[in-house]
């Protein structure tokens, strides 16, 4: 449904170079195909492993590259594991050697090791953090000097509603996905001076990760293709920065980390009891705000403390 009588300006990527991780299938494949269809040169990264991260094969990435080339686009395959920083650096260098720059990074690679926290092995917790969080860190670290030097960059972190709001059996995945939001917040601040815009995408899509978890009719609506418009907006020339955009079945939402107005309680011996008594007021969301950086909390606290003494 077009909500405007006038056609919007097309989002296109001619002359841009994109890296998409975990792009051998599912959502990553659709990201890579869409970027290529709109003119980007795309490095398709995929380890080619199983859903739990085991194994590996270059076939998946090469298959997507073949699709892009068959449609007249430019693409290269790469089988690096995002957990291996040296391999990630080599991946970025592969793109630079071929096309001279990297403009767009879509951190999409991920695995699942779902179990309730009581039953989860710590090794499975660490591995999920390593792939989702450190994988994104490695990729961002490898492209950061290039984007700073060229004074242009667009980075997307793939977060999740499981990270933003929690989900039973996914403590490892949730922790990693919320950590990516924190990474995005700071990189967006640090990259602003050189027009590096960093955002989060929270997709709801039927992929290998969702098979068997939802009814068939629901999965049919949650196509990976229906998430792609959000990704394209978040990496476009006019992209926002520090956005957390949800997408699924053609619907799009924004999520925010907000802070309430709070109230001054004091810090004397009876402060815990007074805080408990007024906790509902402290948590009242009327007039809450979206802080521009972490200093906003301290600024608010000091202002209220000073006002209480006046």
Alpha helices in the chain (DSSP H): 26-37, 59-70, 85-99, 122-129, 135-150, 161-165, 171-191, 216-221, 228-234, 271-277, 279-282, 295-309
Catalytic annotation present for 165 = no
Compute the distance between CA of residue 93 and CA of residue 152 in angstroms, rounded to an integer.
17
Whose tokens are 């660490």? That residue is: 126
Q: φ and ψ at 222, to 5 degrees?
A: -90, 60
Q: How far apart are CA 76 and CA 170, in angstroms?
A: 33
CA 131-47-74 angle, 5° bins? 120
DSSP label at residue 213 = T
In sequence order, which residues have a C-beta less than 8 Å from that of residue 193 and are 6 or more positions away?
none
pLDDT given for residue 162 in this prediction: 95
pLDDT score recorded for residue 218: 73
Query: How many beta carbons lie within 10 A of that of residue 303, not counting itself?
Result: 11
| 95-144: pLDDT as tens digits | 999 999 999 999 999 999 999 999 999 999 999 999 999 999 999 999 99
Low-confidence stretches of the chain (pLDDT beneath 70):
1-5, 49-57, 207-214
Residue 153 has a pLDDT of 99
d(CA 8, CA 35): 18
Domains, the chain, in order of start with CATH, read 17-255 (3.40.50.720), 271-309 (no CATH)
152, 165, 173, 256: the active-site residue: 173
- Bridge partners (DSSP) of residue 17 are 41
For residue 200, what are the contacts with CB-CB under 8 A and spacing of at least 6?
Answer: 156, 157, 158, 159, 180, 181, 184, 243, 244, 245
What residues have CB less than 8 Å from 199, skipping those under 6 apart? 155, 156, 157, 184, 188, 234, 239, 240, 241, 242, 243, 244, 245
- Report pLDDT for 205: 79
């Amino acid at each position: 449904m077009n909500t405007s009588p006038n056609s919007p300006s097309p989002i296109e990527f001619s002359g841009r170079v994109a890296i998409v991780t975990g792009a051998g299938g599912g959502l990553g494949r659709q990201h890579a195909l869409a970027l290529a269809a709109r003119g980007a040169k795309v490095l398709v990264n995929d380890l080619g492993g199983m859903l739990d991260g085991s194994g590996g094969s270059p076939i998946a990435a090469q298959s997507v590259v073949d699709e892009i080339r068959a449609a007249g686009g430019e693409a290269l395959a790469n089988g690096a594991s995002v957990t291996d920083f040296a391999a990630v650096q080599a991946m970025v260098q592969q793109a630079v050697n071929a096309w001279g720059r990297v403009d767009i990074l879509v951190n999409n690679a991920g695995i699942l090791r779902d179990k309730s926290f009581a039953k989860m092995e710590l090794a499975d917790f660490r591995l999920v953090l390593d792939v989702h969080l450190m994988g994104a860190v490695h990729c961002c670290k490898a492209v950061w000097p290039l984007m700073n030097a060229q004074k242009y960059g667009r980075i997307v972190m793939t977060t999740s509603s499981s990270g933003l709001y929690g989900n039973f059996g996914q403590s490892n995945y949730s922790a990693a996905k919320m950590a990516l939001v924190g990474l995005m917040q700071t990189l967006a601040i640090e990259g602003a001076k050189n027009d590096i815009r960093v955002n989060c995408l929270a997709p709801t899509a039927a992929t290998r990760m969702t098979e068997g978890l939802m009814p068939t009719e629901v999965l049919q609506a949650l196509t990976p293709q229906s998430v792609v418009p959000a990704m394209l907006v978040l990496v476009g020339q006019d992209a926002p920065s520090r956005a957390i955009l949800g997408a699924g079945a053609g619907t799009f939402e924004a999520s925010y980390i907000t802070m309430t107005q709070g109230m001054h309680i004091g810090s004397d011996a009876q402060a815990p009891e007074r805080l408990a008594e007024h906790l509902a007021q402290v948590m009242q969301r009327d007039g809450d705000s979206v802080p521009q950086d972490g200093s906003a909390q301290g600024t608010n606290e000091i202002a209220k403390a000073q006002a209480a003494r006046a």
